[in-house]
């Protein structure tokens, strides 16, 4: 039965267009009453169905509210306006029937009120689904004054560590997603967030940050509740926090919710912050003027089952993968040499190549990315890759890579990331490295963070 109610509730956004249609039609006839001279029974018919469809809309709206966790605060104005529209439709229907009580009110009053109440109800309804500034936002942007703060892309890679977590990240996130309802003018739940001290003070149920057991903080509790829960924040149908934003807020609260500690001090990593970084627009592929590859070589490789495609339309730079030809071995490597300049990305994962591969790969001067995952390589001869001026990514996951090879990788000037995760081996523990090289080496020992909900005992 619950499912039926939910279904009926979800019909609401569709259903509301029925009364809108009937009422608009009635109003248009009213405007042209002299010319069209609609009969009274025709108008009664229109307002009868306007009333019925208003009732259905109201009913479905109530079910939507009950079933889908909207806040009463958010919908009450829309609800009252909808009731008023229903009341006017029925009133005008009675007026047309000649009801003594209804005819005491002038016709013009019904018509004007219906017009405005239709617009207001519709607008308030739209605000619930699309957010209050949905309509005005494009206009504000036109006027060059949008008070929306873009949280995204505001840290830069070079100085992010010195940014205080609160003013650099938390405050802009709260401003964007929470402060609309939690400020001195509109203080929902008695909670204000416009300053750090206001946030510390908490809401009508006391502090929202529990510094003794941070995991139990009401703030974290609210943002981690399922979205359909009434107490979930921000309320349903509002712009939600992203996964990265929730993670940032959680880590900040867990580490004591300090006002001045920096991202560096609280050990936020570059990986966690990518979505807040100004994007580095630099293309990963070099600008190269290279002629088309030898068609015969391409054909012979393709007939072996090797995948070769241009990295994008209209370029002679190639991506090569042996994923469909796992028997690809050292013997076949020489076949690549005639098109050595063209290959910028190569994926030899799961193939039968050995350490000889490094010698050949060092002869493909434009390589940007190399994948050798799940091959038998040990890293012997890997230093030859240091001659590759554009090599940015190197994937060596689940290989026989020796720990001695790791320090060699630190000599690679352009490299951005080397992935060296090994199943059943802790390569990081076998390696002693300078910390600024470590950042470029991804050992993949990720651990899942604790969520506040983990602490709940059911």
Q: Which residue has the tokens 């830069």?
A: 156
Q: How far is the CB of 69 from ligand HEC (least distance, A)?
A: 10
Does the footprint of ligand HEC cover residue 253 (CB under 6 A)?
no
Angle made by CA atoms 409, 414, 417, in degrees to the nearest 5: 60
CB of 14 to ligand HEC, least distance (A): 24
The residue written with tokens 């070099």 in the block is 286
88 makes contact with ligand HEC (CB under 6 A): no
Instruction: Spell out the residues 6+ positions from residue 121 whose beta carbon is closer than 8 angstroms to its own.
Output: 78, 81, 82, 84, 85
Output the CA–CA distances (angstroms, integers) from residue 192 to 116, 188, 202, 208, in the order listed.
34, 8, 7, 11
Give the shortest CB-107-to-ligand HEC separation in angstroms.
40
What's the Cα-to-Cα distance from 40 to each of 45, 48, 98, 341, 396, rounded to whole Å?
9, 12, 10, 84, 82
Q: Are 383 and 391 in contact (CB under 8 A)?
A: no
Q: What is the per-residue binding string for ligand HEC in 178-197, x denoting contact by CB under 6 A?
A: x-xxx-----xxxx------
Find the binder of ligand HEC among 177, 224, 371, 395 (CB under 6 A).
177
Binding part of the chain for ligand HEC, among 156-164, 229-237, 262-270, 390-398 by CB under 6 A, reads 229-237
Name the minimum Å distance from CB 13 to ligand HEC: 19
- Candidate list 71, 154, 225, 288; residue touching ligand HEC; CB under 6 A: 71
For ligand HEC, the binding residue among 235, 379, 381, 452 (CB under 6 A) is 235
Size of the site for ligand HEC (CB under 6 A): 27
CB of 150 or CB of 295, closer to ligand HEC: 150
- Regarding 61 and contact with ligand HEC (CB under 6 A), the answer is no
Q: Does 241 bind ligand HEC (CB under 6 A)?
A: yes
Tracing tokens 């690809």 back to the chain, one arrives at: 328
Choose which of 86, 223, 253, 385 interacts with ligand HEC (CB under 6 A).
Answer: 223
Q: Select from 340, 337, 406, 400 the least CA-distant residue to 367.
A: 340
Minimum distance, C-beta of residue 210 to ligand HEC, in the bound complex (Å)? 11
**Nearest residue (CB) to ligand HEC, 210 versus 347:** 210
Chain CA centroid to CA 33, Å? 52
Judged by CB under 6 A, which stretch of 198-206, 254-262, 326-334, 384-392 contacts ligand HEC?
198-206
Q: How far is the CB of 198 from ligand HEC (least distance, A)?
A: 12
Q: Are 12 and 61 in contact (CB under 8 A)?
A: yes
450 binds ligand HEC (CB under 6 A): no
CB 84, min distance to ligand HEC, A: 23
Residue 392 engages ligand HEC in binding (rule: CB under 6 A) = no
Neighbours of 220 (CB within 10 A): 24
Q: Closer to ligand HEC by CB, 224 or 395: give it.
A: 224
CA dihedral 229, 231, 233, 235 (to 10 degrees): 70
Smallest gap from Cβ 123 to ligand HEC, in A, equals 17
Return the CA Rg of the chain. 33
Q: Is 210 in the site for ligand HEC (CB under 6 A)?
A: no
Q: Which are the contacts of 350, defined by CB distance < 8 A and separation ≥ 6?
A: 322, 323, 326, 373, 374, 375
Instruction: Check residue 234 for interaction with ligand HEC (CB under 6 A).
Output: yes
The single residue among 169, 233, 348, 391 that binds ligand HEC, judged by CB under 6 A, is 233
Nearest Cα neighbor of 214 from 179, 248, 252, 173 is 252
Question: What residue has token string 């003018």?
Answer: 185
Q: Which two tokens stand for residue 406?
A: 């790791």
For the chain, the straight-line distance linking the first and the last C-alpha, in angstroms and rounded, comes to: 27
Binding positions for ligand HEC, rule: CB under 6 A: 71, 73-74, 177-178, 180-182, 188-191, 202-205, 208, 218-219, 222-223, 231, 233-235, 238, 241
């Amino acid at each position: 039965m619950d499912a039926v109610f939910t279904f009926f509730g979800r019909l609401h956004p569709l259903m509301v267009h029925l009364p809108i249609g009937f009422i608009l039609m009635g109003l248009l006839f009213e405007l042209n009453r002299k010319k069209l001279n609609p009969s009274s029974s025709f108008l009664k018919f229109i307002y009868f169905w306007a009333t019925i469809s208003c009732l259905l809309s109201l009913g479905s709206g109530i079910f939507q509210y009950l079933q889908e966790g909207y806040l009463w605060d958010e919908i009450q104005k829309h609800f009252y306006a909808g009731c008023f529209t229903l009341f006017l439709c029925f009133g005008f229907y009675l007026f047309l029937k000649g009801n003594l009580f209804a005819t005491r009110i002038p016709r013009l009053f019904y018509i004007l009120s219906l017009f405005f109440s239709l617009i207001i109800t519709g607008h308030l309804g739209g605000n619930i689904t699309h957010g209050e500034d949905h309509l005005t936002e494009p206009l504000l942007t036109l006027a060059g004054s949008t008070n929306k703060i873009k949280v995204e892309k505001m840290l830069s890679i070079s100085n992010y560590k010195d940014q205080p977590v609160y003013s650099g990240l938390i405050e802009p996130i709260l401003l964007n997603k929470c402060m609309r309802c939690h400020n001195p003018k509109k203080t929902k739940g008695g909670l204000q967030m416009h300053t750090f001290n206001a946030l510390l003070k908490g809401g009508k149920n006391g502090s929202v940050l529990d510094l003794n057991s941070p995991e139990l903080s009401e703030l974290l509790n609210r943002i981690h509740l399922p979205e359909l829960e009434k107490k979930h924040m921000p309320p349903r149908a509002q712009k939600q926090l992203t996964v990265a934003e929730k993670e940032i807020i959680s880590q900040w609260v867990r580490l004591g919710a300090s006002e001045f500690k920096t991202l560096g001090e609280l050990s936020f990593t570059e990986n966690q912050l990518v979505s807040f970084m100004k994007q580095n627009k630099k293309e990963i592929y070099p600008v190269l003027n290279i002629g088309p590859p030898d068609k015969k070589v391409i054909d012979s490789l393709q007939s072996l089952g090797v995948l070769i495609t241009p990295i994008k339309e209209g370029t002679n730079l190639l991506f090569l993968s042996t994923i469909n030809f796992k028997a690809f071995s050292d013997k076949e490597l020489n076949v690549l040499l005639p098109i050595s300049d063209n290959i910028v990305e190569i994926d030899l994962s799961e193939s039968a190549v050995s350490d000889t591969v490094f010698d050949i790969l060092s002869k493909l001067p434009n390589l940007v990315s190399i994948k050798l995952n799940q091959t038998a390589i040990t890293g012997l001869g890997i230093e030859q890759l240091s001659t590759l001026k554009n090599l940015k990514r190197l994937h060596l996951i689940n290989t026989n890579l020796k720990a001695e090879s790791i320090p060699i990788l630190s000599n690679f000037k352009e490299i951005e990331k080397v992935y060296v995760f090994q199943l059943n081996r802790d390569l990081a523990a076998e390696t002693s490295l300078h910390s600024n090289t470590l950042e470029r080496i991804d050992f993949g020992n990720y651990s899942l963070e604790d969520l506040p909900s983990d602490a709940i005992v059911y």
